[in-house]
């Protein structure tokens, strides 16, 4: 099939995925991933170079957006509890899956690192949707869970950027430019926005894209990945976006309309149905490798910091989607993991987006009204104690 024919087929698939998402009430990303899987396997399509390129950029842009969506004041308020839960939520599956892949499945050290990183994630977006839908995002426990999710994500992007660096002279410009952009862009953004913002030619979006491409190039030369600086860059610009919602909205429009669909389609197309079918046992082992350490590691901390909703918190911290897919795609693109390993990792990531969420919602969802009453009572008791 020619390149334009593939492009037309994929554009039609993206369109269909969007309409299905609206009708089914399921995230467009998950449907794009599934659609890519169906189209890729049904037509036996290989991923064209242009799709790889667009998908790689979209992955970095997704990471930037994730950073920009962090509520920094909330994170500061919940720092202690969220750090404890978030760091264990990252470290426990990272170590267990890494060891399991290396010793149990015979993967190489680098393959085991990719597996550990991909399955250590917690999905902020999945968690956020559950909390907003129920109104729990307004409660202390909801805020704490979101802050903890950020810590886990930070661990993921840090490991993905640091663990594969090969010492070379390119590390210096990569680190230097990353620091310069992270320190400089928040200062430049207000001036740039005043002079060039709010125009249909979107210079402010181009400033972000140019910065991300520069980071991608330098990261590639340094045998690293631009996700860490991209995430932190988004984070330091989050207060700018909080006061310029329209700008953030336009960035999302460009991302969701053209870029991220190809990222998820590419992810889906790279999953081999045959490889999954032939390795269902390994799939189960990896799924357990993610879930068991998350559950065992997070639950005691959740009992301490998120009582009486420890089980709900633990299950939400066990979800994953975007960063797991980004990490797996990085491994595939750089040749660290093969298509079978990629298929297994992404399948586990998708299962972890669905299964813990469903269990948390069906069996452990807190009563929001009761939770608010409880918070009011706790505050009153504290005030009495202080008085």
Partner 1 sequence: MPFSRIVVAIDGSEGSEHALAKALELAGLTGATLLALAVEGPLPAYAATVGEVEEVKREKDAFFERLLMRVRELADEAGVPAEVELRPGHAAELIVHYAREREADLIVLGHRGHFLRDRMLGSTADRVAEHADCPVMIVR
Q: Which stretch binds partner 1 (CB under 8 A): 27-35, 94-102, 169-177, 211-219?
A: 27-35
**Judging by beta carbons within 10 Å of its beta carbon (0-12, 13-18, 19+), is residue 373 exposed, middle or buried?**
exposed
CB 189, CB 251: distance < 8 Å: no
Separation in Å, CA 164 to CA 114, 191, 334, 367, 382: 10, 36, 10, 44, 48
Q: Which residues contact 324 (CB under 8 A, 6 or more apart)?
A: 118, 119, 121, 123, 345, 346, 348, 349, 352
HSE value, Cβ hemisphere, 13 Å, CA-based, for 47: 25
Of residues 118-147, which lie at the interface with partner 1 (CB under 8 A)? 123-126, 128-129, 132-135
Of 18, 21, 138, 239, the residue at the interface with partner 1 (CB under 8 A) is 21
Least Å from the CB of residue 4 to partner 1: 28
What gap in Å lies between CA 132 and CA 25, rounded to an integer?
A: 15
Least Å from the CB of residue 353 to partner 1: 5
Least Å from the CB of residue 350 to partner 1: 8
Calculate Rg over the CA atoms of the chain.
Answer: 21
Of 29 and 336, nearer to partner 1 (C-beta) is 29
Of 21 and 334, nearer to partner 1 (C-beta) is 21
* DSSP annotation string for 158-190: HHHHHTTPPPSTTHHHHHHHHHHHHHHHHHHHH
Of residues 180-219, which lie at the interface with partner 1 (CB under 8 A)? none
**CA dihedral angle for residue 32, residue 33, residue 35, residue 38, rounded to 10 degrees:** 170
Count residues near partner 1 (CB under 8 A). Answer: 36
Site string for partner 1, 61-80 (x = CB under 8 A): -x--xx--x-----------
Site string for partner 1, 230-259 (x = CB under 8 A): ------------------xx--x--xx---
Of residues 260-289, which lie at the interface with partner 1 (CB under 8 A)? 260, 264
Of residues 326-355, which lie at the interface with partner 1 (CB under 8 A)? 353-354
Q: Which of 98, 94, 90, 95 is nearest to 152 (CA)?
A: 90
Of 161 and 248, nearer to partner 1 (C-beta) is 248
Q: Which stretch binds partner 1 (CB under 8 A): 3-11, 19-27, 89-97, 280-288?
A: 19-27
Both tokens of 334, joined, read 């750089």
Please report, as ranges, the residues that interact with partner 1 according to CB under 8 A: 21, 23-30, 62, 65-66, 69, 123-126, 128-129, 132-135, 248-249, 252, 255-256, 260, 264, 321-322, 325, 353-354, 357
């Amino acid at each position: 099939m020619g390149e334009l024919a593939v492009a037309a087929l994929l554009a039609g698939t993206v369109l269909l995925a969007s309409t299905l998402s609206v009708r089914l009430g399921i995230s467009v990303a998950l449907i794009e991933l599934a659609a890519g899987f169906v189209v890729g396997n049904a037509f036996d399509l290989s991923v064209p170079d242009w799709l790889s390129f667009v998908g790689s950029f979209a992955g970095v842009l997704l990471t930037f957006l994730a950073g920009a969506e962090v509520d920094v004041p909330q994170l500061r308020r919940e720092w202690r509890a969220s750090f404890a839960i978030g760091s264990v939520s990252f470290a426990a599956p990272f170590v267990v899956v890494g060891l399991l892949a290396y010793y149990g499945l015979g993967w190489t050290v680098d393959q085991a690192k990719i597996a550990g990183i991909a399955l250590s994630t917690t999905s902020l977006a999945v968690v956020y949707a559950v909390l907003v839908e129920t109104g729990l995002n307004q409660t202390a426990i909801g805020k704490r869970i979101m802050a903890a999710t950020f810590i886990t994500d930070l661990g993921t992007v840090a490991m993905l950027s640091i663990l594969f660096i090969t010492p070379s002279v390119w590390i210096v410009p990569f680190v230097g430019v990353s620091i310069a952009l992270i320190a400089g862009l928040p200062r430049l953004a207000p001036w740039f926005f005043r002079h060039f913002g709010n125009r249909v030619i979107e210079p402010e979006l181009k400033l972000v894209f140019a910065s991300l491409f520069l980071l991608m190039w330098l990261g590639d030369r340094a045998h690293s990945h631009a996700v860490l600086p991209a995430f932190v860059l988004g984070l330091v610009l989050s207060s700018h976006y909080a006061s310029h919602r329209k700008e953030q909205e336009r960035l999302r429009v460009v991302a969701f309309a053209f870029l991220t669909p190809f990222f998820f389609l590419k992810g889906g197309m790279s999953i081999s149905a045959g490889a999954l079918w032939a390795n269902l046992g390994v799939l189960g082992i990896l799924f357990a490798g993610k879930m068991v350490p998350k559950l065992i590691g997070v639950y005691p901390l959740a009992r301490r910091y998120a009582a009486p909703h420890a089980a709900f918190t633990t299950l939400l911290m066990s979800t994953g989607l975007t960063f797991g897919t980004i990490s797996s795609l990085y491994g595939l693109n750089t040749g660290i993991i093969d298509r079978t390993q990629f298929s297994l990792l992404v399948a586990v990531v998708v299962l972890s987006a669905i299964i813990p969420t469903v269990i948390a919602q069906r069996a452990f969802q807190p009563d929001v009204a009761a939770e608010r009453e409880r918070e009011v009572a706790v505050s009153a008791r504290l005030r009495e104690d202080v008085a």
